[in-house]
Amino acid sequence: MTLTTEIPPIVARLRAAFASGRTKPIAWRRAQLRALRRLLTEERTTLEQALRTDLGKSPVEAHTTEIGFVVNEIDHTLRHLASWLRPQRVSVPLALAPAKARRVREPLGTVLIVSPWNYPVNLSLAPLVGAIAAGNAALVKPSELAPATSAALAELVPRYLDAEAVAVVEGGVLESTALLEERFDHIFYTGNGAVARIVMAAAVKHLTPVTLELGGKSPVVVEPGVDLATTARRLAWGKFTNAGQTCVAPDYVLAVGGTAEPLQRELAAAITEMFGDDPARSADYGRIVNERHFDRLTALLESGTVVAGGRHDRGELYIAPTVLGGVDPDSAVMSEEIFGPILPIVEIPDLDAAIAFVNEHDKPLALYGFTNSEETKRRLTTETSSGGLAFGLPVAHLAVPELPFGGVGDSGMGAYHSVASVDTFSHTKSVLDKSLFMDTMKVAYAPITDLKEKL
């Protein structure tokens, strides 16, 4: 745990490093990204163990959703960085010619990254990739609710990266509050909306721009006629990875026109296929982060009829992959983000009602559609608003590097991944360059009435 008295000198060190210019050369950025890649590959086992301790994550899941995910992000960034950073020439209006104009990226300065517990490696280091790629000094504050991963990052990051310009501060509310007292040039926060409001209020003091990567309920619309067995497998995969503790996990299903019952049967079969008869014994199934979330989640089981799963064990922080049928849209499970392995199925008569339902609620981080109809895809695209939209497969839009990842409205503001990260952590400076040779601006100078004489 970092002492709050240590925070101001750490921030001062980072600011001095940025002011010295050391983070700006592309060579420094590349070297740091390669060092971060080495950290992830050489210390893979340490990180996997920490993720197992914090969340019961299997090594395979730890790799695909966290460690390998960030490695891919680094590789993609290293491949494209030079072209992303190249100044872009833009045309100049005739009245200003001859002149040159270009857009030039500059780093923002010293940035703060505050991350949550559910993907503690990914959500701490993927934003860091963007911050470094854009040439910033950066401070990462991992979540205290994933303490083993937080400790591993605090130990490893300074060993591999330039400790003058990149730091990890460990801690919870006290330390975060102390950090938010400091001046940063950007705050990148991932977590819940209540804390996002605290972060944004703190940012006001220094007029610091913020990116807020939040959550909410991500709905799924399932239409009749689709292959329900495949739909169920993909939903089970998206929902029960990390025991449902994924910001873009399918939160609930709007089962259109009689699809609810057959879908529930297919979901039950898919769960058994993936995790066996007793998912508690599956090496691939994770655990709930702590007792508070366990108690919150088990209370939600009252909101419907358990049609699959439902077993839970507080001592093990285990909740089976669960499907709830006959769910009332006004019940508790439908009133807050579930963020756990419970999938409610709500019956809805038609697409119009499904679209109206989505639009009556907060703008989701993701919306998923399972349909054979291009018209339905068009309607979901144009008649609803969400951070991301995916047809036929949940969650995986995050793995498409050139798709910016972020929310809208209650699910957040700003985006990242790939070039969107560089956009987030840079300022695009407008540069106009007009030669002093021959004064073509004479027509603009007062007195304007003498225009003819000037020409």
254 near 370, Cβ under 8 Å? no
- The catalytic position among 213, 223, 266, 337 is 213
Q: Does 149 bind ligand NAD (CB under 6 A)?
A: no
Cis peptide before 447 (omega within 30 of 0): yes
Nearest to residue 186, comparing CAs of 111, 295, 265? 111
Residue position matching structure tokens 């890649």: 37
Q: Does 242 bind ligand NAD (CB under 6 A)?
A: no
Tell me 63's DSSP state: I
Q: Does 2 bind ligand NAD (CB under 6 A)?
A: no
Q: Does 35 bind ligand NAD (CB under 6 A)?
A: no
Which residue has its beta carbon closest to ligand NAD? 215
Angle between helices 26-42 and 68-85 (to 10 degrees): 170
181 included as an active-site residue: no
Q: Considering Cα of 183, then 187, then 191, then 192, what sign does the dihedral take? A: positive
Q: Does 118 bind ligand NAD (CB under 6 A)?
A: yes
Q: Does 396 bind ligand NAD (CB under 6 A)?
A: no
Q: Which stretch binds ligand NAD (CB under 6 A): 19-27, 209-217, 264-272, 276-284?
A: 209-217
Q: Does 15 bind ligand NAD (CB under 6 A)?
A: no
Q: Does 148 bind ligand NAD (CB under 6 A)?
A: no
Q: Which of 6, 144, 164, 284 binds ligand NAD (CB under 6 A)?
A: 144
Angle between helices 374-383 and 351-360 (to 10 degrees): 20
The least distance separating ligand NAD from the CB of residue 374, rounded to whole angstroms, comes to 29
The least distance separating ligand NAD from the CB of residue 293, rounded to whole angstroms, comes to 8
Q: Does 110 bind ligand NAD (CB under 6 A)?
A: no
CB-based burial of residue 331 (10 Å sphere; 0-12 exposed, 13-18 middle, 19+ buried)?
A: middle
Based on CB atoms, which residue is closest to ligand NAD, 161 or 289? 289
The least distance separating ligand NAD from the CB of residue 287, rounded to whole angstroms, comes to 16
Q: Does 412 bind ligand NAD (CB under 6 A)?
A: yes
Q: What is the dihedral of CA 268, 269, 275, 277, to 10 degrees?
A: 80
Based on CB atoms, which residue is closest to ligand NAD, 193 or 257? 193
302 included as an active-site residue: no
Put the strands of the sheet holding 166-168 in their side by side order.
166-168, 137-141, 110-114, 186-190, 210-213, 412-413
The least distance separating ligand NAD from the CB of residue 256, rounded to whole angstroms, comes to 25
What lies within 8 Å, CB to CB, of 189 at 6+ separation is: 114, 195, 196, 199, 210, 211, 212, 213
Q: Which of 190, 242, 264, 426 binds ligand NAD (CB under 6 A)?
A: 190
What lies within 8 Å, CB to CB, of 312 at 6+ separation is: 294, 298, 301, 318, 319, 320
Q: Which of 109, 191, 219, 404 binds ligand NAD (CB under 6 A)?
A: 191
Q: Does 299 bind ligand NAD (CB under 6 A)?
A: no
Based on CB atoms, which residue is closest to ligand NAD, 232 or 419? 419
- The catalytic position among 66, 73, 247, 266 is 247
Active-site residue list: 213, 247
Q: Site residues (CB under 6 A) for ligand NAD? A: 114-118, 123, 141, 143-145, 172-173, 176-177, 180, 190-192, 195, 198, 213-215, 247, 337, 339, 365, 407, 412
